A and B are shown apart, each in its own frame.
Chain A
Amino acid sequence: MSIGITNINEVPNELAPRNNGMPLDIEFIRNLRVNRSAVERRCVTHGGRRTVKKTHQAAWLLKSISCIDLTTLSGDDTAARVRRLCAKARQPISSDMVDRLGVKSLNLQTGAVCVFHEMVETAVLALKDTGIPVAAVSTGFPAGLTPHRLKVMEIEDSVAAGAEEIDIVISRRHVLSADWGALYKEMQDFRKACGDAHVKAILATGELGTLSNVARASWVCMMAGADFIKTSTGKESVNATLPVTLVMLRAIRDYYDQTGIKIGYKPAGGISKAKDSVAYLSLVKEELGNSWLCPDLFRFGASSLLGDIERQLEHHLTGSYSSGNRHALA
């Protein structure tokens, strides 16, 4: 497969076509290679190559907020808990801080709220008229080992309940046994079941063994029509990392170069510090460009990140270090 690289056009994202996938090219998938040491070296030095300070840092942190899929995925979730989360999604930082930062016109809110299927209706209701989409994790999240038929039904039910985004988990065994045809078919079925809802493919990278497998799984999911590729469920022992991110971003870039279609990226799990979020944003900026720095194409799957960002923003405004109890609970 030849990769003809075009200049990255800054087409407005809302006008960009949705990914309809392409035929699976197994030979291409097999030939994908990632050198782990080289990837790690890039990631280790990246933090030293790029930094943002002061006004820019505040702006980048606001950008991070706008890209958060504010998430609760616990067995003890209740309607009230989800409503509290949705309130935070609508008003992620205090109106006082919004005023002092001079960003009222941004109408800052998080990228989405992410919940289990049972909480979708509650969330949809709580976010009515905000434009904030509800994302549902699906397909036997997190292990993805329920019957395929039920997975498809689960997606359909969530979409019917009002979820605009579906975060599916792939069957890791297809990757580990290199059954790319099965993975492709599974992803196609999920995509089809989503209808107009956007589908994020969770690769569970911590369970794929190698970075080369991460690249291969990324490509198969994109070829089968995924709108986003996402690192993790947050439930694996290793979740989002910069090396995994670099590999997935490069796959997205190559896919774009080849098709002109922009796939979104969502690192999830383990990103809880404001500083980490800036490192992710700058890596996306370096590898893909500014047009990816928006909620249409980039999300953080995170629950505690927002709290740290709030404290950092207050520090930016006051020069004093903040504490958690000064900010509203999510």
Chain B
Amino acid sequence: MTVLEAFKSMDYGLAPESDAEALAWIAGRNAKFGHFINGEFTEPRKLFQTCNPATAKVLAQVSAGAKKDVDAAVEAANAAQPSWEAMGGSARSRYLYALARLVQKNSRLLSVLETLDNGKSIRETRDIDIPLVARHFYYHAGWARLLKSEFPGYEAAGVAGQIIPWNFPLLMLAWKVAPALAAGNTVVLKPAEYTPLTSLCFAEICQQAGLPKGVVNIVTGAGDTGALVAGHKKIDKVAFTGSSTVGRIIRQQTAGKGKKLTLELGGKSPFIVFEDADIDGAVEGLVDAIWFNQGQVCCAGSRLLMQESIAEQMLQKIKVRMDKLRVGNPMDKSIDMGAIVDPVQKQRIAELVDVGVKEGAEIYQCAASLPTDGCYYPPTLLSSVEPAMRVAQEEIFGPVLVAMTFRTPAEAVELANNTRYGLAASVWTENINLSLDIAPQVKAGIVWINSTNLFDAAAGFGGYRESGYGREGGREGMFEYLKPSFLKTLTAAKPSKTSAFTKVSAPNSVDRTRKLYVGGKQARPDGGYDRAVLDPSGKTVGQVGEGNRKDIRNAVEAASNAKSWATTTGHARAQILYYIAENLSARASEFAATLKSMTGDSHTKEVDTSIDRLFCYGAWADKFDGAVHQVPIRGVALAMNEPIGVIGIACPNEAPLLSFISLVAPAIALGNRVVALPSQDHPLAATDFYQVLETSDLPGGVLNIVTGDQDLLTKTLSEHAGVDALWHFGSANSAEAVELASIINLKQTWVAGGKARNWFDEAQSEGREFLRHASQVKNIWVPYGE
């Protein structure tokens, strides 16, 4: 083409980034890679191919990790962990700093390698992925240095097994490896089979940084290799990012094994545009929301919700904008969208779009021509979509936007939350009242006001609901790789004595059968049976209702209905907790006597401590503040601690009143509603509490108490999709069942695994650890500037 022709056409022409260095790097390793175990690469074996999706050409062959590879990696990580942790945060921070610097030094190689392996544009790898990788290592180098002073009483979780997806290969590695190493863990990482190359390049960077052998181990392979990592006996912590389907499998696989688990799963994130928004800004936001990384983003703004009054205008503007998108060779510097990672994914996108069209959606695809070879799918808009359609509910994981309308802010929230997922949301309006009203109402771990897909190491990332649990980034993310140091000192709780209910004999005084406590009222058990409560000698000291499935159903319903508790002010919640303490104090001797009747010991101290603990959470109710994260924008990221919702709590036998209070009080202090299953052996402490509650202004439904066979009731509670979290401090054999059943709605679980805490020791039984479990962090990004 001549200058004259170019002048007439005013086209962009080609501006390809060179792939020479990256291809030379691959060739320099004979295009064959082994695993990275104990600081060294293994001999390549059981090879499979990794391709460039933009050209379908094979880039390299990598090894499929088998059991012995995973064993060797886990072994190396276990061997390296104690000294890695023992060297201290200060020394570790220097290694993390070195990794950050080396990522920066190698940033162009890593960018090009990532684009070759994944198909995403060089613009994104160069301007977004790799700079964020370096940022995560820098940021966590800082946490390593501050670990001792900022996380007292905590130690490393141990060896982390990390399984990452193909959509942001090196970035997901950084999100997982950086906090793990900072906290003193060692890792075994399994990159996605489509995109292993940058992980392997990172392995070399670890060598260059002089990282001690075995601290980072990388085993390549497909899902079966990942399963070997997640299921390995000597892995203490599993972190997974990927599909909700695989997330569920991993939850099942790790159930009852005492492993810490974080899941960062799918999404169908709403992108809400109100009529007073900057429409052009919002349209451009969509480009970053759904046509970023070919839409292969877990937090992609894939569901456009527009206020009816602007819908027509906005759709037109979106179409005009779509026609300007350039799709093609991701190595070209003037490309908006590159290739889909694999033909399998492209096929799935096409099938879902077909379903949408058959169900009545109108389709618009961008006018840009696609390259004929390679794996490409055009930017696509499906409008006239209804919530009942599959494309409105299912994650498409491609460049496909579905558009719907709403009439009022309330309807916008309703539609936004009409999904199993809860990862992210964008809210567009020029009205600060509206934006800050909507943000807390949307069930999502991240909310972007007038922006989208902003990421930073300082702000936690992670979802609500079936988008998973745990956070990556921020202070909140560090806790995912730490555990309280006292945990290792705990001993096994004594198993419960009572198992089945006993038919009760005639009372020897005026009958006093405790009912269940549901919705603020004492309710007869649905089954119409009672169970005897025995003293240590086996003598009946009282009776409690034998709750069943339906009682659990009713209790959860009552808890769900008590929604307004979540928005009751901390000040009001504090007063109610103090009032409960006051009323308990008035009846202290009565409670001490009840406890004595059940356990035979003197319990004045337990009642006193229980009162004190209620005071503790009365104190906390208006003080568990969030944070304002320092993110690199003109604006703020507000980390708000929000209640989780409905929490099921199975209480232990030890200190039956105190443990019950210690678990229930933090949950309700932060605005959760609770269905509590009191101590299996000594439930009278909780049932006598009904009368305290009734005189203490606690709104009905906030705390519900169901007595009976705890293991049985726990199972129903664990399987209930309306329960958002389950805390299990009951019998050891129920812990696994709880974690298994949690996959129904991917509820968060906190299980003691049959270990007994000392409920009189404040370090073990009150404070921030409990409050963190009772809350989830929502990060609200608010850019500002007029």
Contacts and interface: CB of A to CB of B under 8 A. Distances in A.
A55 B6 contact: yes
B10 A290 contact: yes
A42 interface: yes
A210 B786 contact: yes
A35 B684 CA distance: 60
Interface string A32-72: 01111111111001001111111110111011000000000
Contact of A37 (B4, B334, B451): B451
B655 to A, nearest CB: 53
B427 to A, nearest CB: 12
Nearest to A6: B316
A63 B786 contact: no
Contacts of B12: 50-52, 56, 282
Interface in A222-273: 250
A189 to B, nearest CB: 31
A53 B11 CA distance: 11
Interface residues of A, number: 44
B511 to A, nearest CB: 68
A105 interface: yes
A179 to B, nearest CB: 20
Interface stretch (B92-100, B279-287, B554-562): B279-287
Specify which of A35, A45, A101 lies most central, judged by the most chain B CB atoms within 10 Å of its CB. A35
A42 B285 CA distance: 9
B3 A102 contact: yes
A52 B313 contact: no
A3 interface: yes
Interface in B285-330: 285, 288, 313, 316-317, 320, 324
A290 to B, nearest CB: 5
Interface in A9-41: 31, 33-41
B123 A48 contact: yes
B281 A52 contact: no
Nearest to B7: A59
Contacts of A74: none
Contact of A56 (B11, B336, B786): B11
A33 B310 CA distance: 14
B320 A55 contact: no
B14 A53 contact: yes
Nearest to A212: B786
Contacts of B633: 37
A175 B284 CA distance: 27
**Interface on chain A toward B: helix, strand, loop, or mixed SS?**
helix
Contact of B278 (A34, A49, A60): A34
B127 A45 contact: yes
A36 B785 CA distance: 6
A106 interface: yes
Nearest to A211: B786
B2 interface: yes
Contact of A51 (B277, B278, B333, B430): B333
B10 A59 contact: yes
Contacts of B512: none
B450 interface: yes
B2 A102 contact: yes
A53 B316 contact: no
Contact of B15 (A37, A40, A53): A53
A37 B450 contact: yes
B6 A38 contact: no
A52 B1 CA distance: 14
B783 interface: yes
A285 interface: yes
B6 A41 contact: no
Given A41-B451, A53-B14, A105 B4 contact: yes
Contact of B336 (A49, A59, A211): A49
B13 interface: yes
B276 interface: yes
Contacts of A55: 1-3, 6, 13
Given A5-B317, A48-B123, A286-B324, A37 B2 contact: no
A293 interface: yes
Interface string B102-127: 00000000000000000000010011
A13 to B, nearest CB: 14
Given A35-B430, A37-B785, 15 more contacts: A35-B278, A36-B786, A37-B451, A39-B278, A45-B288, A50-B334, A52-B15, A52-B334, A56-B11, A56-B12, A59-B5, A60-B6, A60-B10, A211-B786, A282-B12
10 contacts: A39-B281, A40-B785, A48-B123, A51-B15, A52-B13, A53-B15, A59-B4, A59-B7, A63-B7, A103-B3
The 10 closest A-B pairs by CB, nearest first: A38-B281, A59-B6, A56-B13, A37-B783, A35-B278, A59-B7, A5-B316, A35-B281, A36-B785, A53-B15
